[in-house]
Amino acid sequence: METLLIVDDDPAIREVFSILLSKHGYTVHAAPGGRECLDCLKKTSPDLVMLDIMMHPIDGWETLTAIRKNPETGVLPTIMFSGKSPSREEVLMYGGWIEDYLMKPLTMQIISRSLASVFERSRTDADARLLYLRSGADPALVEEYFNLRRFLFIRDKFSREFCDEPEGSGSQTGRRRERLVELTRMLASLTTGGGTGSAGPVMESHDMAR
């Protein structure tokens, strides 16, 4: 079973999460803040981080940024959670870095469903990433592809934050969707030699983003 790192400055939440998730078979580590999270990641290698946003002195977004900038944890799956929905600016800035965003109060059903979905996507992504890189794809373009997929998943989940955004390529979301289509075709071309026989991982990833 997978190993999780739970990061929250509320000791009651850490304790409850640790107990419940352990009962569901997960190995659970816990950290009371962003600094402790980063220290823990130097000593352990969890399969996923669940990261609260409203923490001090380093909040969840700052902690996430540090995780992504570290080559050893740059692709570590991360789920954010908070008592408030993300702002439009937060989605635009950080949406490409996270697998999911959960709203408090959390139930075990919500957490379990999110974890199952994230781990399934992560396994598919790992296989697809390896395929693309072995096919000669530029690593930067591969990461851009996955970042765009994650962004669109989060953006569509909180679409009400973008209700005033114009449709089509004139919007930031529209431009990112178009870029994802472009990268999807590029990666499909590399992995199939222009055919369609092995395009499954690419097209499946694209569909999940939408």
CA 154 to chain centre: 9
Which residue from 73, 82, 65 is spatially nearest to 13, judged by alpha carbons?
Answer: 82
Question: Using CA atoms in the order 91, 36, 16, 119, what is the torsion angle rounded to 10 degrees?
Answer: 50
Supply 105's token pair: 């109060």
Residue 164 CB partners (closer than 8 Å, separation 6+): none
Peptide bond into 166 cis (omega under 30): no
Q: Residue 110: exposed, middle, or buried by beta-carbon count in 10 A (0-12, 13-18, 19+)? A: middle
The pLDDT of residue 98 is 98
**Average per-residue pLDDT in the chain?**
90
Q: What per-residue string of b and e applies to 153-173 under the rule 16 or more CB within 10 Å gives b?
A: bbbeebeebbeeeeeeeeeeb
Residue 194 has what pLDDT?
52
Tell me how far apart the alpha carbons of residues 105 and 102 are, in angstroms, rounded to a whole number. Answer: 9
Question: Dmax of the chain from CA atoms?
Answer: 54
Please tell me the predicted confidence (pLDDT) of residue 197: 38
Alpha-carbon gap, residue 203 to 105, rounded angstroms? 35
The reported pLDDT for the residue numbered 168 is 64
* Structural domains present in the chain: 3-121 (3.40.50.2300), 123-209 (no CATH)
Residues of the chain with pLDDT under 70: 164, 166-169, 193-210
